[in-house]
Structure 1
Amino acid sequence: MAHPPTELLRVERRERLAWLLAGLVIVLLCVGRLWWLPAPAALSVNEGWNAQHVVRLFGAAALYPDPEALIANNYPPLSFLVVGLFGTVTGDIILAGRLLALSAQLACALAVWAIVARLAPGPRWKLAGIMLFGAYSVTLLRTYVAMNDPQWLGDAAMAWGVFFMVPRRAGGTPSLRSIAIAAVLMVAGELIKHNLVAFPIAVTVWLMLFDRRALIAWIGFGALFTAIACAGVYALWGMTAFIDVLAPARSYSAMRMLAKGGPLLLAMIPVLIACRPLLRQWRQDRRLALPLCLFAVSIPLGIIQRAGSGVDVNAFFETVIALAVAVPVATSLRPRPSIAWIGISVLPALCLVPIATAANVRELRTRDDAVRNAAPLIAALATARGPVACDDQAYCYWAGRESGIDFFSVKQRLLQDKAAALAPALAEGRFAMIQMRGHNPGWQENRLIPAIRAHYRTVYAKDGIELLVPKR
Structure 2
Amino acid sequence: MKSKNIKLDTGYSIWISFGIFFALILLAPHLAFISSHVSLSSNEGWNAYLSQRAMGMDPAPLYPPSGQMVFNNYPPSSFYVVGLLGWLLGDMIVAGRIIALVALLFCAYAAGRVVCVMGGTRAGSWFAGLLVIIYSAVFYSDYVGMDDPQWLGQGIVMLGLLLLVDRASASGRSTAWRTFGAGCVMVAGLSVKHNILALPAAVMVWLVLTDWRRAMVWLSGCLLALCVLGGLFYACFGPDFVHGVFGHKRIFYGYRILKGMSNVVGLSGMMVAGLFLRRMRLAHGYGLLLGLYLLLAVAFAIVQRMGTGVTHNACFEALIAAAMCAGLAVSYLLKGGTLGRLPPRVTLVGMAGLNLLPVVVCMPTYLPYLYRITAADIVAHEGAWKDTIAAVHNIDGDVACETLAMCYWAGKPAVIDFFNYSQHVAVTHEATALEQAVDRQAIAAFVSSSRFGRLGEVWAFSNLWHIIRSRYTHVREQGAAYIVTP
TM-score by length of 2: 0.90
Q: Secondary structure at the match of 2:69?
A: coil
Superposed, which structure 2 residues align to 1:118-267 within 5 Å? 118-166=117-165, 168=168, 171-258=171-258, 260-267=259-266
- Matched residue, 2:435: 423
Aligned pairs for 1:55-454 (under 5 A) are 55-57=52-54, 58=56, 59-166=58-165, 168=168, 171-258=171-258, 260-282=259-281, 285-334=284-333, 335-336=337-338, 338-361=348-371, 362-416=373-427, 417-438=429-450, 446-454=462-470
Q: What is the Cα deviation at residue 224 of structure 1?
A: 1.1
Q: Equivalents in 1 of 2:229, 2:157: separation in Å? A: 16
SS in 2 for 1:346: helix
Q: Alpha-carbon deviations, 1:92-141, whole Å to 9, x = none?
A: 11111111111111111111121111012431111111221122111111
- Distance in 1, matches of 2:73 and 2:282, equals 42
CA RMSD of aligned residues (A): 2.4
How many Å separate the matches in 1 of 2:406 and 2:69?
18
Query: Partners of 1:103 and 1:199 in 2: how far apart?
Result: 20
Q: CA deviation at 1:453?
A: 1.5
Could you tell me how far 1:209 is from its partner in structure 2?
A: 1.6
User: 1 CA distance for matches of 2:474 and 2:173?
Assistant: 65
**% of aligned pairs identical?**
30
Contact 2:273 2:322 in 1 (8 A): no
Instruction: Report the CA distance between 1:280 and its aligned residue.
Output: 3.3
1:457 matched residue in structure 2: 473
Q: Assess, with a 3 A threshold, how the Cα gap between structure 1 residues 206 and 355 changes in structure 2: closer, same or farther.
A: farther
| SS of match in other structure, 1:466 | strand
1:459, 1:469 within 8 Å by CA — same for their partners in 2?
A: yes
Higher alpha-carbon deviation: 453-462 or 375-384: 453-462
Question: What are the equivalent positions in structure 2 for 1:11-30 lying under 5 Å apart?
Answer: 12-30=9-27
1:39 counterpart letter in structure 2: S
Amino acid at match of 1:173: R
Q: Distance in 2 between matches of 1:246 and 1:349?
A: 37
For the pair 1:43 / 2:40, whether they are aligned, the reply is: yes
> Matched residues in 1 for 2:439 and 2:98: separation?
41
Code of the aligned partner of 1:422: L
CA–CA distance in structure 1, aligned partners of residues 233 and 365 of structure 2: 42
1:201-251 deviation line (CA, Å, top 9, x unaligned): 111111122111111111111111101110000010001111111121110
Tell me the matched-pair count.
Answer: 466
Contiguous gaps of at least 5 residues in structure 1? none
CA distance in structure 2 between the partners assigned to 1:353 and 1:217 by the alignment: 46
Q: Is the 1:29–1:356 Cα contact (8 Å) retained in structure 2?
A: no
Change (3 A) 1:85 1:4: closer
Q: In the TM superposition, what is the alpha-carbon distance from 1:170 to its structure 2 partner?
A: 6.0
- For 1:262 and 1:290, the matched residues in 2 are separated by 23
Helix, strand or coil at the partner of 1:275: helix
State the partner residue of 1:468: 484
SS in structure 2 opposite 1:139? helix
Q: Any idea what SS the aligned residue of 1:148 has?
A: coil
For residues 311 and 385 of structure 2, the distance between their equivalents in structure 1, rounded to whole angstroms, comes to 25
Give CA deviations for 1:170-221 in whole Å, capped at 9, x if unaligned.
Answer: 6422321111221222111111111111111111111122111111111111
What's the CA shift for 1:299?
0.6
Structure 2, unpaired ranges of 5+:
339-343
How far did 1:284 drift? 5.4
State the SS of the aligned residue for 2:78: helix
Normalised to the residue count of structure 1, the TM-score between the two structures is 0.92
Whether the 8 Å CA contact 1:183–1:222 is kept in 2: the answer is yes
- Look up the SS of the partner of 1:302 in the other structure: helix
Single out whichever of 84-93 and 118-127 deviates more from structure 2: 118-127
Q: Distance in 2 between matches of 1:441 and 1:213?
A: 63
Secondary structure, counterpart of 1:435 in structure 2: strand
Q: Secondary structure at the match of 2:179?
A: helix
Instruction: Give the deviation of 1:283 after TM superposition.
Output: 7.2
In the superposition, relative to structure 1, how do residues 100 and 265 fare at CA in structure 2: closer, same or farther (>3 Å)?
closer
Partner SS for 2:329: helix
Amino acid at match of 2:436: P
Alpha-carbon distance between aligned partners in 2 of 1:231 and 1:4, rounded to the nearest angstrom: 57
Do 1:157 and 1:186's aligned partners in 2 also have CA atoms closer than 8 Å? yes
Paired with 1:332 and 1:441, the residues of 2 have a C-alpha distance of 58
